[in-house]
Structure 1
Amino acid sequence: MKKIQQLLLVTLLLAGVGSMAQAASFDCNKARLNTEKTICANRGLNDRDVKMATTFNIISHAVPMGGRDHLIDEQVIWLKQRNGCGSNVACIANAYQNRQKQLDQMLQDRVFSHGPF
């Protein structure tokens, strides 16, 4: 059962990442903040951004309306915290790692636990 869930997650993430393999989840040409510019200049951060955004989108489409509003509110708070890192690569990477863990747990709790996987 767990293997099927992991395979589904990887498939969904690769589908999203494959279409955006060279770009962050936002337009790097319009990056204004130091954090955004750093993400665009660093492939590892860029990849983390795409993975996190893909996971966020999957969850936001799978939760009920009230849960979606709460999820968006949490994401806005997280973005402000991430942007507080400025151009500190380690800080940004840590922010993504922590948020990805939270989103992965939500995916497990709110999506996989309800499906016939």
Structure 2
Amino acid sequence: MKKTAMLFLSFLLYTTNSYASNEPSFACDTADLVTEKVICGSRELSALDRKLNELYQAELSKPYVDQNKLQSDQIDWLSLRNKCEYGYDCIRGKIKQRISILDTKHVQAYSWGGKLRAAPSMDSIQVGSIFGKQNIVIIEKTNHVMNGYPWFFIEASNQQAFQWGGLLCDPNQPAASYCLENK
């Protein structure tokens, strides 16, 4: 009897954990919108929704991100996603598109050299420097702009810091960085 009870308890815990891991980032039992119900009925869409939520929450936690703009953009995006209603491919496409917008980490680029800053400002303290044409990894573009170029949070020589977009070349972001090929 004890062995049967343990097996039943193990099965119950396994199915509960398995079910919980298939849930999207919101509670399906309170889902009102058609789009939310479609997401709840799909493991793939639920997994994409969880990934999107992780990226969104990570962005919200960054001190240099304009939280009001990010939240406004998310609300606008949710309105677009919800227009998909029963359209599985439409919902999947909208979620993947939003993920690609939020997941800008690890873009290969290079710097023309210059100072690395502790914050996205020329008034911020210098925390390092890099030489011309040094490869860097762009972790993300900030909302801070100077002379038409945004500041970027980058990694160079195993150090993470900020550098102005006018000193960077990212072929994937020609309008936000300075590449001789684009000028």
Q: TM-score range by the shorter chain?
A: 0.7 to 0.9
What per-residue deviation string (whole Å, max 9, x for no partner) do you get for residues 8-61 of structure 1?
Answer: xxxxxxxxxxxx622111100001111000000000000000000000000110
Question: How big is the alpha-carbon RMSD for the aligned residues of Structure 1 and Structure 2?
Answer: 2.3
Structure 1 residue ranges without an equivalent (≥5) = 1-19
- When you count helix as a share of all residues, which structure comes out higher? 1
Identity across matched positions, percent: 28
CA separation of 1:21 and 1:48: change in aligned 2, threshold 3 A = same
What per-residue deviation string (whole Å, max 9, x for no partner) do you get for residues 48-85 of structure 1?
Answer: 000000000001101436x0110000000000000000
> What is the match of residue 35 of structure 2?
35
Structure 1 residue 87: Cα displacement:
1.2
Is the CA contact 1:59–1:106 (under 8 Å) kept in the aligned structure 2?
A: no
2:140 corresponds to 1:109: yes
Secondary structure of the residue aligned to 2:104 is helix
- When you count strand as a share of all residues, which structure comes out higher? 2
Deviates more, 1:55-64 or 1:43-52: 55-64
**In the TM superposition, what are the counterparts of 1:30-69 in structure 2 within 5 Å?**
30-64=30-64, 67-69=66-68
| TM-score normalised by the chain length of structure 1 | 0.74
Bigger radius of gyration among the two: 2
The list of structure 1 runs, each at least 4 consecutive aligned residues, that deviate by more than 6 angstroms after superposition, is none
Q: How many residues align?
A: 97
> What is the match of residue 23 of structure 2?
23
1:91, 1:62 → 2: CA distance? 30
Structure 2 residue ranges without an equivalent (≥5) = 1-19, 107-138, 143-151, 161-183
| TM-score normalised by the chain length of structure 2 | 0.48
1:94, 1:113 → 2: CA distance? 28
Is the CA contact 1:63–1:110 (under 8 Å) kept in the aligned structure 2?
A: no
1:89, 1:95 → 2: CA distance? 10
